[in-house]
Amino acid sequence: MAVRPASTDQALPSCSLSCEALVIDVPGRADGQPLSFSIEPGSRWGILGPNGAGKSTLLHTLAGLRAPRHGRLRLDGQPLTDWRRRAVAQRLGVVFQERHDEFPASVLETALIGRHPFLRAWQNESEDDVQRALGALEHLDIAHLAHRPLATLSGGERQRVSLATVLTQAPQIWLVDEPTNHLDLHHQVATMALLDEQASQGAAVVMCLHDLNLAARWCDHLLLLYPDGAACWGPRDDMLVTSALERLYDQPLSVAEVDGAAVFMPRVASSLNSPRPTKEVSHDAHVPYDAVPHDTDSEER
Amino acid sequence: MIICRSLVSASAGLVLSALASAAMASSSPGGYEDICVVDDTERELCLSAPAERIVALSPSVTEMLFAAGAGERVVGVVSFSDYPEAARSLPQVGSYDRLDLESLLALDPDLVVAWAGGNPGQQVERLDELGLPVFRSDAANFEQIATTLERFGRLAGSADIGDTAARELRESVAALGERYVDAAPVEVFYQVWEQPLMTVNGEHWISRALSLCGGVNLFADEAPLVPRLSREAVLAADPEVIITGGMGKADSTWLDAWRQWPQMTAVARDNLYFINPDLVQRATPRLVEGTRALCQHLDAARERR
Amino acid sequence: MLPVNAADSSATFRPTRRGRPLGLLALLGVVSVVLAVSVGSVALSPMELWLTLTGQGSSLHQTLVWELRLPRALAAFGTGALLALAGALMQVLLRNPLADPYVLGLSGGASVAALCAMLAGLGAALVSASAFAGALVSILVVFGLAHGSGSWSPARLLLTGVVMASGWGAIITFLLAVSPVEELPGMLYWLMGDMAYARSPWPVLVIAALSALVLVPLGRTLNVLARGGQQALALGVAVRPLEWGLYLAASLATATAVTTAGSVGFVGLMVPHMLRLRLGADQRLILPASLLAGGCLLTLADTLARTLIAPQQLPVGVITALIGVPSFLYLLHRSHGKG
């Protein structure tokens, strides 16, 4: 790939993000299960859950964009709230699902805002910044759109501009809300490969995903977020328990093996009678939902 | 020309009654004494010589300057200054509510007569700042019109004409008052405007002109000088006479609007009268003429009882 | 795959392109002020104008140029600059390209106070002071109400401001309805906006210069804020303080402009819009360009207002709309073609 490795010319060392008894603030919902885990450099976390479970809220809370209800976050061991926002932005980048394109801007201008945390107020983007942005556009296959107005892009192109913006920012921690939104199959894979590449260069990547199979294929850690606030998390293989996933989405699943990996398919009503595949649950991690005693329920209700 | 101006600390009524004699004392024809008068905002204005280039900032002021014998010295007026005829051909310096200071200055006036109640305060203050002598006029009844004529005559070196005009005005008013001293009262609604419906209160010179010949303004006790009314209020008051100026000199459409209520006394007796608004709605010497016309209408109404 | 093409596109990148439009606008600004000083009800020949400017003209010409035309031209320039800047800031603050300096009810507060002062028979200086005070009251009320509960968003600020504006509008209508008839023309002209009320050009010029110094360096930050509060926060912008700072700066600019010339419409909404159609949305260019273009527009419009049907004088707001609307529609039409 043509892009320079984003991490090498960045003087910043790898960062870790950890949460301690974190309870996210979902308005109108009782406190969920406190979350305590650490996202280490090089890891790829996937947040799974049905609509409305609070995936985006959790992601924004991890980014420090909204206050948690309880608990706290640490960036490199320091409480996140003690960091200056600019310093956080030099280390942590967020790809949002929603965008505000009320004001006209070109693709290149949009990618260049990724350099904002590294520039002083009066500074203009340097030639080097422009090169970084162009490299990021190149990496996402949209260099030819550099001078196009955002308003003329398709949804998938716009999504890749958002990814290119964070790639230009080159953070050590990526928080990505639905990275494959609007993307065709090829670009879904390319995008996951990009995030994978970032992780292998030492970045920590956290993504909210709708697609169970993308999570199964590209993540090494998973966090399952249930609509009632319950959660479990751990290494991927411990989390991919069919019964837990069925409970997560309230949807029966079929499992097949393709190219040596498990693939989950929703089961339609007619096939409900086929035997449910089972898998042995390993208990060395935080255990999937249906395997734990429902101790959180009593707190909630 | 030396100009001095100071605020005189006396009440308006006191000043207005006292100023004629004060002004007279200081003006001796041919002498070099300053001509000092007090304007309607209680500012003293002194000129070292009679004004020769006067700009008048309202149609009423123009009329009064001409009546006071200063017509030939008026070099600039505002739009709608249509009386007397000679005023129509004078250069204009904008409208009374938006002055063109530049063309005003270009006329090089040695006296500006402003309308205190109508000209924008900012622009008149600007004239002060530019060092122009400004007389602020705000006549609102017969006596004030008379003293204004006297003061204008003094400022323009035509004191005799101004004084004569003032005397004639006072005599005419006194004569009207004597003639109608025992006249039977007539309840009147004077309509200033149609939409919104507006009249005058008892303080207004139109109301005073009406009362001179036995007219009773049904809305004399309203607080604003020019109150806005509902049609209902007029129907309830049931005036014996309705008088209006209409929108132009011969426009009586506003009166026709009342004919849809034949139960009103004024309509039943056909006491709907039109009057030339220029004669009564400007506080100038022509108000005497307008008052006579009003009185004739009231006389006609008395005959229809 | 990369470097050649990349280097090409970067060669035409923005920073180099900022000087020319700003230089042109500055030149246009000088031309508009010179024009405003040369033209009026009294015709001055170029020779007379030159003599006057070099201090040798007749005393009438000296007065016309130095005491009437120049202060008014500068006041118009400053007022236009502040309104356009305030419009540009409000549009970023509310993330709404249709926002204008008056959308949050500030001119309503100023108008109510100014009309009350006129009703009370106060002099011109006190009317101006009241207008400023009214604008400040409106700023604080909207700030307090929008800030009060803690949960805050541009949408909430907009809603609070728009409702306040409606409230002020009702009070203005009430005041007009109960005011003595003879006061109405002055009140209406104040509401329309009129440079004849400008007393001194200094307040607007000083505030415009200060705003330029403080805000233009924030251009890149505002570009990021325009992408949404969350996005800006994620990119290290201290969003909350910045937004309140923007609100106060835009309000102060508007209050100063309104105090100088009444509620001159159109400039604050349209100038930033027109500039974006021509120059793109980079606030580093749009903010200084708004200052200059707003100043030019109002200076030229006021020159027309006082000469078009002289000696009759028109309110400047009429002219800004009459020349602004067609040129805006023309730009919109042309940019549509470009896609």
Q: Is C143 left (phi over 0), alpha (psi -120 to 50) or beta?
A: alpha
Please give the CATH superfamily to which domain B4-173 belongs. Answer: Nitrogenase molybdenum iron protein domain (3.40.50.1980)
| Res C158: pLDDT | 86
Say which of C5, C235, C282 has its CB closest to residue A109: C282
Q: Which residue has the higher pLDDT, C18 or C252?
A: C252
Say which of C6, C95, C218 has its CB closest to residue A102: C95
Inter-chain residue contact A63 with C234, CB threshold 8 Å: yes
10-residue averages of pLDDT along chain B (305 residues): 38 41 45 82 93 96 95 94 93 90 92 91 87 93 95 95 96 93 93 87 93 93 88 92 77 82 92 90 92 94 91
Give the percent of chain C with pLDDT over 70: 92
Say which of B103, B130, B192 has its CB closest to residue C67: B130
Say which of C40, C182, C312 has its CB closest to residue B94: C312
Neighbours of C, requiring at least 3 CB pairs below 8 Å, are A, B
Give me B280's structure tokens.
């009564």
Check CB contact of C185 with chain B, cutoff 8 Å.
Answer: yes
Q: Which positions 25-54 of A are in contact with C (Cβ < 8 Å)?
A: none
> Coil, helix or strand for A273?
coil
Q: Which positions 201-240 of B are in contact with C (Cβ < 8 Å)?
A: 224-226, 228
Check CB contact of B25 with chain C, cutoff 8 Å.
Answer: no
Number of C-alpha atoms within 13 angstroms, CB side, residue C154? 23
State which fold the C66-338 domain adopts: ABC transporter involved in vitamin B12 uptake, BtuC (1.10.3470)
Comparing A97-101, C119-123, C241-245, C272-276, the range with the smallest average pLDDT is C119-123
Q: Which residue has the higher pLDDT, B22 or C299?
A: C299
Q: What are the structural domain ranges in chain B?
A: 4-173, 182-303
Average pLDDT of the residues of chain C: 85
Q: Closest chain C residue to A165 measured between Cα atoms? A: C235
Inter-chain residue contact B105 with C310, CB threshold 8 Å: no
Inter-chain residue contact A124 with C284, CB threshold 8 Å: yes
Say which of B108, B125, B224 has its CB closest to residue C123: B125
Inter-chain residue contact C6 with A134, CB threshold 8 Å: yes
Inter-chain residue contact B226 with C67, CB threshold 8 Å: no
**Tokens 């200056």 label which residue?**
A84
Q: Closest chain B residue to C39 measured between Cα atoms? A: B102
Q: Closest chain C residue to B223 measured between Cα atoms? A: C180
Inter-chain residue contact C41 with B79, CB threshold 8 Å: no
Q: Which helix (H) or strand (E) holds A234?
A: strand A231-235
- Dihedral over Cα of C244, C250, C254, C257: its sign: positive
> Coil, helix or strand for A176?
strand
Inter-chain residue contact B224 with C178, CB threshold 8 Å: yes
Say which of C64, C69, C196 has its CB closest to residue B120: C196
Residues of A with Cβ-Cβ distance to C13 under 8 angstroms = 108, 125, 130
Q: Closest chain B residue to C194 measured between Cα atoms? A: B98
Between chain A and chain C, how many beta carbons pairs sit less than 8 Å apart? Answer: 114
| Res C320: pLDDT | 86
State the best of A61, A65, A103 to mutate against chain C, taking most chain C CBs within 10 Å: A103
Cβ atoms within 10 A of the Cβ of C234, count? 30
Neighbours of B, requiring at least 3 CB pairs below 8 Å, are C
Check CB contact of A108 with chain C, cutoff 8 Å.
Answer: yes
| Res C185: pLDDT | 79
Residues of B with Cβ-Cβ distance to C124 under 8 angstroms = 121-122, 125
> According to CATH, where is 3.40.50.300 located in chain A?
17-240
Q: Closest chain C residue to B101 measured between Cα atoms? A: C68
Inter-chain residue contact C217 with A121, CB threshold 8 Å: yes
Inter-chain residue contact C10 with A127, CB threshold 8 Å: yes
* CATH, range B182-303: 3.40.50.1980
Answer yes or no: pTM beyond 0.90: no
Inter-chain residue contact B122 with C63, CB threshold 8 Å: no
- On whether the CB atoms of residues A192 and A180 are closer than 8 A, the answer is yes
Q: Which helix (H) or strand (E) holds C287?
A: helix C283-307
10-residue averages of pLDDT along chain A (301 residues): 42 80 90 92 95 92 93 93 94 92 90 94 89 95 93 93 96 95 92 95 94 92 92 92 91 88 82 51 48 40 32
| Res C67: pLDDT | 86
Span C168-197, average pLDDT: 85
Q: Closest chain A residue to C220 measured between Cα atoms? A: A121
Rg (C-alpha) for chain A, rounded Å, is 20
Determine the Cα–Cα distance for residues C142 and C90; give it in Å rounded to an integer.
Answer: 14
- For every residue of B170-211, DSSP letters joined together read HHHHHHHHHHTTTPPPEEEEEESBTTTTB---TTSHHHHHHH
* Burial degree of A210 (CB within 10 A; 0-12, 13-18, 19+): middle
**Tokens 């603050």 label which residue?**
C93
The ipTM estimated for the assembled molecules is 0.84
B172: Cβ–Cβ under 8 A, 6 or more apart, which residues? B288
Q: Closest chain B residue to C260 measured between Cα atoms? A: B122
A152: Cβ–Cβ under 8 A, 6 or more apart, which residues? C339
A231: Cβ–Cβ under 8 A, 6 or more apart, which residues? A32, A33, A35, A223, A224, A225
Determine the Cα–Cα distance for residues C25 and C91; give it in Å rounded to an integer.
Answer: 21
Give me B80's structure tokens.
């709608």
Span C199-204, average pLDDT: 87
Check CB contact of B123 with chain C, cutoff 8 Å.
Answer: yes
Could you give the dihedral angle defined by the CA atoms of residues C133, C135, C141 and C142, in that order, rounded to the nearest 10 degrees?
-170
Inter-chain residue contact B94 with C63, CB threshold 8 Å: no
| Res B251: pLDDT | 65
Please give the CATH superfamily to which domain A17-240 belongs. Answer: P-loop containing nucleotide triphosphate hydrolases (3.40.50.300)
Q: What are the structural domain ranges in chain C?
A: 66-338
Inter-chain residue contact B117 with C42, CB threshold 8 Å: no
